[in-house]
C-alpha cells in the first residue's frame, strides 16, 4: 500500500521530531510512504494543499471519525490507490479542503497539539499496519 503523509509544517519540538523519525522509519518497513511537508505559509492555501494530493484518496484529520483504521486500510489496499493523510496546521485545514476530502479521520476526541498530532498519526498508521500484516506490536 502507498501512503502519502501531507503536513502543514514539520515537527518542531525535540520530542516530536524524535517520535516522527522513529515511527516514520517503522512504518516504512511495512508500507511505501512518502512525505510532503508544506510550509506554514500554505496553511490556508486550498489549491496548494489539493495540488499535493491530486489523484489520491484523500483523508483529512478531523475531530469526528468512526471506522477503525485497520478496516479502513484493508479497504483502501484493495483499491490500489495511494492514500494521502493530510494533517493541517495549528489552526486545522481550510473548510474547502475538508469538504472535498474522500474521508475524514479522527485521532481522538481530544484536541492535540500540532506536533503531537503528527507523531500520533504515524504511530497509529504503524500500529494498524502491523495488525493488518499479522505482526506483533511492541508493548
Residue 138 has pLDDT above 80, yes or no: no
Domains delineated in the chain: 2-132 (3.40.1280.10)
Backbone angles phi, psi at 32, to 5 degrees: -85, 115
State the pLDDT confidence band at 15, using cuts at 50, 70 and 90: very high
Specify the pTM.
Answer: 0.88
Give the residue among 10, 12, 24 at the shortest CA–CA distance from 121: 24
Question: Measured in whole angstroms, how far is the alpha carbon of residue 32 from the centre of its chain?
Answer: 13
Mean pLDDT, rounded, for 19-27: 97
Q: State the pLDDT confidence band at 136, using cuts at 50, 70 and 90.
A: confident
Amino acid at each position: 500500500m502507498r501512503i502519502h503523509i501531507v503536513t502543514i509544517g514539520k515537527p518542531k519540538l525535540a520530542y516530536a521530531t524524535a517520535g516522527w523519525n522513529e515511527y516514520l522509519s517503522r512504518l516504512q518497513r511495512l508500507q511505501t510512504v512518502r512525505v510532503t511537508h508544506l510550509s506554514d505559509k500554505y496553511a490556508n492555501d486550498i489549491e496548494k494543499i489539493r495540488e499535493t494530493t491530486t489523484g489520491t484518496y484523500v483523508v483529512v484529520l478531523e475531530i469526528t471519525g468512526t471506522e477503525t483504521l485497520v478496516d479502513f486500510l484493508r479497504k483502501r489496499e484493495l483499491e490500489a490507490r495511494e492514500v494521502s493523510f493530510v494533517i493541517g496546521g495549528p489552526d486545522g485545514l481550510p473548510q474547502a479542503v475538508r469538504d472535498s476530502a474522500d474521508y475524514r479521520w479522527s485521532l481522538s476526541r481530544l484536541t492535540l497539539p500540532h506536533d503531537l498530532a503528527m507523531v500520533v498519526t504515524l504511530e497509529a498508521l504503524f500500529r494498524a499496519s502491523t495488525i493488518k500484516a499479522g505482526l506483533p506490536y511492541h508493548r
